[in-house]
Structure 1
Amino acid sequence: MNQKTLFVVNPIAGGNDKTDIIDAVNAHATASGIELITYETTGEDDEKAILALYHEHKPGRVIVSGGDGTIKSIGETLETEEVIIGIIPSGSANGLAVDLDFPTTIEEQIAIAFDDHTMEVDMISINGIKSLHLSDIGLNAEMIKRYENGTIRGKLGYAIQAVSTLTSSEGPFMATISANGQTLETEAKMIVMANSQKYGTGVTINPSGKMDDGLFEIVVLKNLDFSVFSKIVMGNIPVDTGEVEIITTDAATIVTQVPVHFQVDGEYCGEETKLDIKILHRQMRLAVPRP
């Protein structure tokens, strides 16, 4: 068994200091007789540096301390199921960890990151961009753009921007969705491409989502006023009212009449009028909590 582990830390993820995490991971590795190679991201040529370290040391495991964007970046960089990726969620909104029911203490998270209980998860390709968790166009993407331009981080920052976006966002847009040999023309405030169930805030947007089934869901929110928003926040997706429609598929195309805000895994990607979407089955091997 390969006892080398590459430890990738995003020092600015979530706006919190990572010293305690780094110290705890080092202590666990030392106690377990594991050689730890630590790399802190800088935002410049990180993928190239991580890939070089991976080829030099050939670790059996890569542990990531960061948010969903950092985790996704590691999956894209390594592109192999051979290495186990352990995660220590430390971003602003750790959607992947929330969806996989990770515990909240660093000690428990580290134990899982070094454990051999794994899951091979899918990703979604959207216009060639890989999405690990949840991506969308419309209201939430607009909110994320505002969040990125704001000064308050964490769930409070998301909450402030959510209220601001709901009260001042642009009206609904028209979209044509082609999937499973059928076409749907619909008005929408937001369309989600979901590989899993929950946003990092804990809000369930896709009750039937599974990260390893070779499928994804398109969740169309036709209306998203305060009433519908409140139901979603409380975990009651109003799928029987006509306000929400869910399509399960492995490939789709979405075309909008006007440019619409677009985000992938919590990172704003600009505006788009066409999305070509397909599932990428079993792209990454994650260490996950035992049942």
Structure 2
Amino acid sequence: MIVNPIAGGNDKTEIINASREFAQNEGVELIEFETTGEDDENAIRSLYKEHRPQRILVAGGDGTIKMVAEAVEHNDVIIGVLPAGSANGLSVDLELPNDIQETLKIAFHGNVMEMDMVCINDKKSLHLSDIGVNAELIRNYEGSKIRGKLGYALQAISTLTDLDPPFHVKIEANGKTIETEARMVVMANTQRYGTGVTINPVGKMDDGKFEIVILKSMDVFLIGKIIAGNIPLDSEED
């Protein structure tokens, strides 16, 4: 079990104790490793080679899960997600329950699916990666006390008042070239952010494909459509 103690800024004691108890009741040996932020990926790789576990549980956020996936990407091992980060976007897309005991059942015994991994500038992505206005929006969202779609909407409106100028993008894919001004570009392997907001409604994490979502404009009306799950596709405003 890989635990990131600082992910999400919350105490991991409950998750750790519940995981230990669950493992003991199941007669499963649980080897624990706490990340430090220094050479964790190599340490995890070494632990895997030493113990050859059937499953690796990850108590952390999307970044921790990505790091573990990179460390063992060429090995036949199952990763069980125990959401413990700030937004936990991947767990939202996986539709994991909020109850820790139900999540542990899935992590220890749940059905297995293969998941695509996207490589962007030699960095791996399992979920969503973006450039543009969303970075500032997420920073504002993380600093607010209101969560979920309402919190995202309030921070989106606030962020709109201080937008950077649009930037020029050129995308070459599937034999086509697109050049346009954009406010935000998303490389999406899944559908939703941790807030529950759907940015890529056609995304499937195991179809061997990823989508590129270009937001050419960013106004209250478009944000309303996105939050309502009605992001426009192949239109002049998407």
Normalising by the residue count of structure 2, what TM-score does the alignment of the two structures yield?
0.92
Structural mapping, 1:121-200, within 5 Å: 121-144=115-138, 146-147=139-140, 155=147, 161-200=155-194
- Which residue identity lines up with residue 23 of structure 1 in the other structure? N
Rounded to whole Å, the distance in 2 between the matches of 1:196 and 1:125 is 14
Alignment counterpart, residue 29 of structure 1, candidates 23, 26, 45 = 23
**Where do 1:44-63 residues align within 5 Å?**
44-63=38-57
Report the alpha carbon displacement of residue 76 of structure 1 after superposing the two structures with TM: 0.4
SS in 1 for 2:224: helix
Q: 1: distance between equivalents of 2:37 and 2:147? A: 24
Distance 1:217 1:56 in 2: 37
Encode CA deviations 1:61-89: one digit per residue, 9 max, x unaligned: 10000000000000001123411110101
In structure 2, runs of 5+ residues without a counterpart are none
Task: Give, in whole Å, the separation in 2 of the partners of 1:43 and 1:109.
Answer: 26
Q: Is the 8 A contact 2:185 2:212 kept in 1?
A: yes
Cα RMSD, aligned residues only: 2.0
Deviates more, 1:167-176 or 1:191-200: 167-176
Using a 3 Å threshold, how does the CA distance of structure 1 residues 129 and 57 change in structure 2: closer, same or farther? same
SS at match of 1:87: strand
The structural deviation recorded for 1:142 is 3.3
Kept in 2: contact 1:14–1:153 (CA 8 A): no
Q: Which amino acid aligns with 2:156?
A: A
* Structure 1 unaligned residues grouped into runs of 5+: 1-6, 245-291
SS of 1:114 mapped into structure 2: helix
Q: What CA distance in whole angstroms lies between the structure 1 residues aligned with 2:167 and 2:73?
A: 36
The correspondence of residues 67-146 of structure 1 with structure 2, limited to 5 A, is 67-144=61-138, 146=139
| 2:128 alignment partner AA | L
Report the AA paired with residue 155 of structure 1. Answer: R
Q: Distance in 2 between matches of 1:159 and 1:227?
A: 11
The CA distance in 1 between the partners of 2:221 and 2:23, in whole Å, is 49
Contact persistence 1:178–1:184 (CA under 8 A): yes
- Could you tell me how far 1:164 is from its partner in structure 2? 3.5
Partner-residue secondary structure (3-state), 2:194: coil
Asked if the contact 1:93/1:154 (under 8 Å) is kept, the reply is: no
TM-score, normalised relative to structure 1: 0.76
> Quick check: 2:187–2:212 contact (8 Å CA) kept in 1?
yes
Name the one with the larger helix percent.
2
* Cα separation, partners in 2 of 1:10 and 1:152, compared to 1, 3 Å: farther
Give the distance between the partners of 1:12 and 1:123, measured in 2 at CA: 25
Quick one: structure 1 residues 93 and 137, their matched pair in 2 at CA, closer, same or farther if it must change by over 3 Å? same
Q: Does 1:216 align with 2:210?
A: yes
SS in 1 for 2:109: coil
Answer whether contact 2:157 2:220 (CA < 8 A) is retained: no
Aligned residue for 2:178, secondary structure, equals: strand
Whichever residue aligns with residue 82 of structure 1, its letter is D
Runs of 4+ displaced beyond 4 Å: 150-154, 156-161
Relative to its length, the structure with more strand (as a share) is 1
3-state DSSP of counterpart to 2:161 = helix
- Determine the C-alpha separation between the residues in 1 that align with 2:103 and 2:53: 20
- Distance change >3 Å, CA 194–CA 239, structure 1 → 2: same
Identity over aligned pairs, percent: 60
Q: Highest relative contact order (Cα 8 Å, sep 6+), 1 or 2? A: 1
User: How many angstroms does 1:116 deviate by?
Assistant: 4.4
Equivalent AA in structure 2 for residue 110 of structure 1: L
How much has 1:169 moved relative to structure 2? 1.3
Q: Is the 8 A contact 2:153 2:223 kept in 1?
A: no
Letter in 2 for 1:201: T
Larger deviation: 133-142 or 24-33? Answer: 133-142
Q: Deviations over 1:15-55 (max 9, x none)?
A: 11111100100001000110110111111121222222211
Amino acid at match of 1:206: N
